[in-house]
Amino acid sequence: PLVAQGQDERGPAEPEATGVRIRIGFNNLTLTATLADNPTARDLVSMLPLNLKIEDYGRNEKIVHLPRKLTEEGSGAFGNEQPGDLC
């Protein structure tokens, strides 16, 4: 399966993965994301399961609107996004 990773306060280095994996279904495709160990990822997990509408953004990204804003505690700037990243 495809694996997506987020980033945390460690910056552009590889974030430490939690081992927590989530499944994301989209357009008859199931993707697997391995979450980084940070407060934002834990906040996302606290909302699961979710059924969200995925929207096209700029023809190369997909976005969703969560039921509430995620915590930004410990978050940092993104600088090394790659195709397949979940941010």
Q: What is the pLDDT along the chain (87 residues), one digit of tens a residue?
A: 344 444 444 444 455 666 789 998 878 989 898 888 889 889 999 999 999 988 888 888 888 899 999 998 877 777 778 887 877
Q: Which residue has the tokens 């399961």?
A: 49
Tokens coding 24 = 């994301």
Closest CA to 72 of 38, 35, 34: 38
Euclidean distance between CA atoms 38 and 15, whole angstroms: 9
- Is residue 31 classed exposed, middle or buried when 0-12, 13-18 and 19+ CB atoms within 10 A define those classes? middle
How many Å separate Cα 13 from the centre of its chain? 16
- Bridge partners of 56, per DSSP, are 62
What does pTM read for this prediction?
0.68
